[in-house]
Amino acid sequence: MKADKAAIVILGATGDLAQRKLIPALDLLYQQNNLGEGTILVGSGRKPVSHEDFKSLFNASKDFEKQMFYHQGIEGLWDYLKTKGEFNRIIVFLALPPETYEKVTGDLAKEGFGEETFLIVEKPFGRDIETARHLNRTLTTHFREDHIFRSDHYLAKEAVQNILIFRFANSVFEPSWNNHFVESIQINAFEEIGVEDRGAYYDTAGSIRDMIQNHLFQLLCLVTMEAPVSLNSEDIRNQKINILKNLRVVNTYRGQYEGYRNEKGIKENSDTETYAEMELRIDNYRWAGVPIYIRTGKATNRKGTEIGLKFKHLPEILFNQGGNLEPNKIIIKVQPAEGILLDLSGKIPGMNMEIVGTKMAFCYRESFNQNIPEAYQKLLLDALKGDRTLFVSARETETSWEVIQPYLDTGDVFIYRKGSCPKTSFGDIWIDFSQYAGFC
C-alpha cells in the first residue's frame, strides 16, 4: 500500500541523521517504487541553503532529487508546502534534539500544521519519568496521540521483527518458552567504538538511558510477551505494556571505560556509565523465577547485539552422567549479521558415542536472495501508511521509565579497560555470544 500525494518534511535536514539515514532510506524507497505518486521531500533547517546546494549534500538518485526541496526554518513552511500542491498526508520528522520539541511543535501548530500532519520523533523520549511525561503532554497539546510516531529503530530491524514470527508461527517453540524449561534470558549489546562526537549528549545520558530504557527493554518485551489477539498495533503494545508493568529490577551495576573523561564534551570527573548490566525479573506466571540479564557497553572488545535463551540443564543421567553437557540455547542475532541459531548436542561421526555441540543456523542473508531493508526504510514507509506497530506509545515510554527510574545515576562506577569486555558482577552466568560471531 502506498500513500499517494504525501509530503515528507525533515526538520534538521542538514544534520547527521538526515544525511546518514533518512535521505538514503527515502531514496531507496523511491527507487523501489514504494513512495506514492506525487510524494515530495522538503528539508528544513536554520541555514539559508538553495535547493541545489541542499541536494548536493546527499548522494541521491537523479530522479529522487527532482522530488527534493529546501525551506529555511519553520516560519512560512506551511504556505510553502501549499505551493507544491495538495497533500493527503504530511509527515514531519523531527531530526532535532529533544529539548527543542516543545517549541518546534508549538511553532508547527501556529503555522497551520493540523489534522493531516503526522509527527515522527526520535529517542530519547525524556531522560526520566517526569521529563517523559512532560514531553508527552507537550506533543499531545498540538497533535493527536495517534498522529505521533515515536521511533525506536531497533524495532524495524529484520531480526527483531522476526521474533514474533519465530515464536508464534512455529508450534515447536511455544511449549518450551516459559519458566518450566528456560533457565535464563540474556540480552547483550556491545559496541567497539566509544562516544566519539556524541560526548556532550552521552554524558547527560549514559548506557541505561541511551540503550536499556528503550532499545533493550523493547527487545525484552518482544521475547517475553504473550501472544497478542491480533497484529493490530494496539494489541501488540498492550502485551508489551503488560510485561513492563510486571518487570522488576533486582541488581544494577555501572562501569566506565578508561579514558572516557578525556573525551570531547565530557565533564571533568564525570560518573556517567558507558557500561551497565542489570538483573531483572518478570513477575507473571510464564516467567516467574527466571532471571533476565541485560548488559550493554561502549568501547568493548566486540560489536554485537544478541538475545539468548539458555535452557535448563539435563539431569545427570544417560549422556549427561558427569553433568558436563552444555544446556541448549536459542540465540537471536540482531546485528551486525542477522540470524537465529539453535545450540544443540549431537554425535560425532564414528564408532564411539562421542557428543559435541552443534549449531543449526538460520541466516537471513543466506536464506533470502534479496536485500534486507535498512531500519529507517521500514519506519518511514510505515509512517506513510499510518501503521504504528513498530513505533512506541506514550504509555510504553512512561511505563519503561517508571521501571528504571530508581536506578538512574545510582551506585559506584567501576573502570574497565578500553577495548575489553568488562568483568561482570554477576559471576559466571553470561552466554559467550562471541562464539557465534562466525555464523551468519
Task: Give me the active site residues, please.
Answer: 215
Comparing CA positions, the residue from 259, 260, 276 lying closest to residue 425 is: 276
Angstrom CA distances, 319 to 183, 254, 294, 313, stand at 20, 40, 32, 12
CA–CA separation, 276 and 54 (whole Å): 40
Pair 244, 221: CB distance under 8 Å: yes
N-terminal to C-terminal alpha carbon distance within the chain: 32
* Residues linked to residue 72 through DSSP beta bridges, in sequence order: 45
Angle value at C-alpha 75, between 69 and 80, nearest 5 degrees: 40
CB atoms inside a 10 Å sphere around CB 440:
20
Question: Residue 168: exposed, middle, or buried by beta-carbon count in 10 A (0-12, 13-18, 19+)?
Answer: middle
Region of 38 (left: φ > 0; alpha: ψ -120 to 50; beta: rest) is: left
71 close to 77: Cβ distance less than 8 angstroms:
yes
Residue pair 93/9 in contact (Cβ under 8 Å)? The answer is yes
What strand order describes the sheet that includes 89-94? Answer: 68-72, 40-45, 6-11, 89-94, 117-122, 148-151, 391-392
**Could you give phi then psi for residue 334, rounded to 5 degrees?**
-85, -45
CA 42/CA 13 separation, integer angstroms:
8
DSSP three-state, residue 416:
strand
292 forms beta bridges with 185, 280
